[in-house]
Amino acid sequence: MLEHLELFFKSIFIDNMVFAVFLGMCSYLAVSKKVATAVGLGAAVIFVLAVTVPLNWLLDQYLLQPGALSWLGEEYASYDLSFLSFILFIATIATMVQLVEIVVEKFSPSLYNSLGIFLPLIAVNCAILGGSLFMQAREIPSLGLAFNYGLSSGIGWFLAILAIAAIREKIRYSAVPAPRRGLGITFIITGLMGIGFQSFGGMLTGDNEPPTVTEEVVEAVEMEPIKEDTKDPKETEESTEVIAGID
Amino acid sequence: MPLLSKKESKLILDPLADNNPITIQVLGICSALAITAELKASVVMAVSVLFVLGMGNVVISLMRNIIPSKIRIIVQLVVVATLVIVVDQTLKAFAYELSKTLSVFVGLIITNCIIMGRFEAFALGNGPWRSFLDGIGNALGYGVILIIVRFFRELLGSGTLFGIPVLGDPIAKTGLYAFGYENNGFMIIPPAALIVVGILIWIQRAKNPSLVEEA
């Protein structure tokens, strides 16, 4: 139970898909102009991640890993199909996305219209494939935890796109210098939010362990210890929530 | 007769600046941000994308008349995934350490939006040679941003370039550090990449007002 809780909060806040590993940035930037659309896409991402990560966990466990085929019999135990994982993972994801598209089109045509081109593009949202690949790289031990990981990563992505969409709705009334309008300022805000989210790094690690924020990120950075004086993160968080609340 | 006609060299040169995949088309941001910490990794990533995008564009362009449009996304994914498996296995065989550093990001080339974006926008409507040039151009535009971002982050963050100290030794206080210069630790943390890209976009649009977005 404890490990479930830990993984849950870790994936939402510490290893946040957007702010810690920069996954799914394309749709994050493109669909965050309005809160309503962002919520729709965010929900779709949660659903697809929560389904595909456990599915891919099963594939990985019983098909792809070295020795995974031993349930077929002794002679298959030496097979290593792990080089096929990319193509199998992406096939699972593409199928699931097609399914979500059909369901959404049937039950919520308005959401379908507002998501437009981006629904099929969930298939090429790096957050989805990233979820499955991180699940494989981190060797998540059980199906339950894999589901948990997919769900919580999705929720983390959802929170991120909700926050940026709320901020972008408000920022329309601000006098942003012309060359920074739109994309430029969005990048900088995201960077600041990312710095804010870094402060969650100390949350689950206790006193002595170093923060694990970017453990798996390619950044071979000397981890800066989380400093006491990072006070803006909480402010950013609160103000984000307040803004979201107003909307 | 020159190797490339004017139109063809435009295909390669345009994505380097005015139609850059990252700062203008907003494609392929994810890996651009995550890979910019180490020069070796950025270069390998840029070369892998060059290979996948160049080859993929050719393959898709050759098949463009026989792919039913309803299933084109799946076909494109299969083509990219196959090429990425080739890249991944090659890296594992010849540069194992590097493939460990890149970890899942090699796999994420599959979902790099630049690739799908160029397939959709260019390769499905153009011949193989033009598509190849377009792929090379866009991959180079991607690589350029990767390297610029990393250059500033490494120079300002740790005072080195390609791992070689250029501003002096911060501990022995030589070079610039003798005058009280300090490394900016802020540049090392991952979110700084976002801010550097944001500033790049700002500079580019300030220089070329036609790129500024409508309010």
pLDDT band, residue A150 (cuts 50/70/90): very high
Contacts of B112 in chain A (CB under 8 A): 126
Is A118 in contact with A32 (CB distance < 8 Å)?
A: no
If you average pLDDT over residues A228-232, what whole number do you get?
43
- Identify the H or E element spanning A153: helix A143-171
Residue B160, φ and ψ in degrees, nearest 5? -120, 160
If you average pLDDT over residues A207-216, what whole number do you get?
47
Task: Inform me whether the pLDDT recorded for A153 exceeds 90.
Answer: yes
Contacts of B113 in chain A (CB under 8 A): 26, 121, 124, 126
Task: Inform me whether the pLDDT recorded for B36 exceeds 60.
Answer: no
Task: Inform me whether the pLDDT recorded for B26 exceeds 60.
Answer: yes
Q: What is the DSSP code string of A154-199?
A: HHHHHHHHHHHHHHHHHHTTS---GGGTTHHHHHHHHHHHHHHHHG
What CA dihedral angle connects A224, A228, A229 and A233, to 10 degrees? Answer: 80
Is B151 in contact with B166 (CB distance < 8 Å)?
A: no
Q: Rounded CA gap, B27 and A29, in Å?
A: 10
Task: Inform me whether the pLDDT recorded for A201 exceeds 80.
Answer: no
Average pLDDT over chain B reads 81
Q: Which of 117-176 (B) contact A at CB < 8 A?
A: none
pLDDT band, residue B111 (cuts 50/70/90): confident
Q: Do B104 and A187 touch (CB under 8 A)?
A: no
Task: Inform me whether the pLDDT recorded for A48 exceeds 80.
Answer: yes
Q: Do B195 and A187 touch (CB under 8 A)?
A: yes
Q: Which of A15, A1, A37, A3 is nearest to A155 (CA)?
A: A15
Task: Inform me whether the pLDDT recorded for B195 exceeds 70.
Answer: yes
- In tens, the pLDDT along B143-160 reads 888 888 888 888 888 777
Q: Do B103 and A218 touch (CB under 8 A)?
A: yes
pTM for this one? Answer: 0.79
Nearest neighbour of A25 by CB, restricted to B30, B73, B201: B30
